[in-house]
Structure 1
Amino acid sequence: MPPPSAHRKETAMRTRPERLYEIDGLRLLAALCVVLFHYVFSGWAGGKTTVTFVTESAWAKYGYLGVDLFFLISGFVVLMSAWGRTPRQFVVSRVVRLYPAYWVGIAVTALVTVTLGQGLFHVSLPQVLANLTMFQAVPNIENVDVVYWTLWAEMRFYLLMLVATWIGITRGRIMAGLWGWLALTFLVELGVLPGIADLVVQSEFSHYFIAGMALFMLYRFGMDWQIALLVPICLGNAVYRAIGYAEAVGTRYHVTYSPTVITAVVVAIFLIMTFVALRVTSRLARAWLVTAGALTYPLYLLHAHVGFILFARLEGLVNKYVLLVAMIVVMLAAAYLVHRFVERPLAPRLKRLLSKRQPAHAAAPAGSPTG
Structure 2
Amino acid sequence: MTEAVGPRPPKNDTGGRLAAIDGLRLFAAIMVALYHFTAYPSGVRAAWGVTPEQAFPGLHRLGQYGWLGVELFFMISGFVICMSCWGRTPGAFFRSRIVRLFPAYWAAIVITTIVVTLWPVVRERKPWNDILINFSMLQEGLGAPHVDAVYWTLWNEGLFYLLFAFLVARGLTLKRTIIFGYGWLIASAFAESSGIPFVRTFLQPGYAPFFVAGIALYLIYRFKSDIVLWGMFGLAFVMAQYRTSEMLRHYNQKHGLEMAQPAGALLVCGFFLVLALVALGYTSRIRWRWLTTAGALTYPFYLLHENIGWTVIYGIRDSAPRLVLLVLVIGIMLAAAFLLHRLVEKPVSRILRDRLAEASAAINRPGRFDAPKPPAPASTPAQRTPGEASSDGPDTLVLQAYRSGQ
Q: TM-score w.r.t. structure 1 length? A: 0.88
Distance 1:46 1:332 in 2: 20
Q: How far is the alpha carbon of 1:192 from its aligned partner?
A: 4.3
Whether the 8 Å contact between 1:295 and 1:336 is mirrored in structure 2 is yes
Letter in 2 for 1:346: V
Cα gap change, 1:221 to 1:337, in 2 (>3 Å): same
Whether the 8 Å contact between 1:76 and 1:215 is mirrored in structure 2 is yes
Q: 1:314 aligns with which of 308, 316, 324?
A: 316
What is the match of residue 120 of structure 2? 117
Equivalent residues in 2 for 1:341-352, closer than 5 Å: 341-352=343-354
Q: How far is the alpha carbon of 1:25 from its aligned partner?
A: 0.7
Gaps of 5+ in 2: 1-10, 362-406
Distance 1:44 1:92 in 2: 38
Gaps of 5+ in 1: 1-13, 360-371
Equivalent residues in 2 for 1:97-108, closer than 5 Å: 97-108=100-111
What is the match of residue 54 of structure 1? 57
Distance 2:294 2:325 in 1: 22
Residue 281 of structure 1 aligns to a residue in which SS?
coil
Q: Given the alignment of the two structures, is residue 36 of structure 1 paired with residue 3 of structure 2, yes or no?
A: no
Q: 1:275 aligns with which of 274, 277, 286?
A: 277
Whether the 8 Å contact between 1:76 and 1:213 is mirrored in structure 2 is yes
Whether the 8 Å contact between 1:38 and 1:304 is mirrored in structure 2 is yes
Distance 1:358 1:96 in 2: 14
Cα gap change, 1:45 to 1:137, in 2 (>3 Å): closer
Q: 1:89 aligns with which of 64, 89, 92?
A: 92
Deviations along 1:85-132, one digit per CA (max 9) or x if unpaired, are: 111111110011011100111111111111102563331211111001
Whether the 8 Å contact between 1:43 and 1:308 is mirrored in structure 2 is no
Deviations along 1:177-219, one digit per CA (max 9) or x if unpaired, are: 1111011011124x24634311111000000111111111111
Distance 2:114 2:222 in 1: 44
What is the match of residue 161 of structure 1? 164
Residue 138 of structure 1 aligns to a residue in which SS?
helix
Is the deviation greater in 115-124 or in 278-287? Answer: 115-124
Whether the 8 Å contact between 1:76 and 1:216 is mirrored in structure 2 is yes
What is the match of residue 135 of structure 1? 138
Q: How far is the alpha carbon of 1:283 from its aligned partner?
A: 1.5
Cα gap change, 1:196 to 1:209, in 2 (>3 Å): same
Whether the 8 Å contact between 2:19 and 2:292 is mirrored in structure 1 is yes
Q: How far is the alpha carbon of 1:356 from its aligned partner?
A: 3.9
What is the match of residue 23 of structure 2? 25
Q: How far is the alpha carbon of 1:253 from its aligned partner?
A: 1.8
Whether the 8 Å contact between 1:45 and 1:253 is mirrored in structure 2 is no
Q: 1:302 aligns with which of 301, 304, 308?
A: 304
Deviations along 1:276-324, one digit per CA (max 9) or x if unpaired, are: 1111111223222110101100000000011112222332233322221
Cα gap change, 1:127 to 1:154, in 2 (>3 Å): same
Letter in 2 for 1:221: F
Distance 1:357 1:45 in 2: 43
What is the match of residue 325 of structure 2? 323
Is the deviation greater in 198-207 or in 160-169? Answer: 160-169
What is the match of residue 240 of structure 2? 238
Distance 1:45 1:349 in 2: 37
Distance 2:273 2:243 in 1: 18
- Number of aligned residues: 343
What is the match of residue 79 of structure 2? 76
Q: Give the number of the structure whose alpha-carbon radius of gyration is greater.
A: 2
Q: TM-score w.r.t. structure 2 length? A: 0.81
Q: How far is the alpha carbon of 1:45 from its aligned partner?
A: 6.3
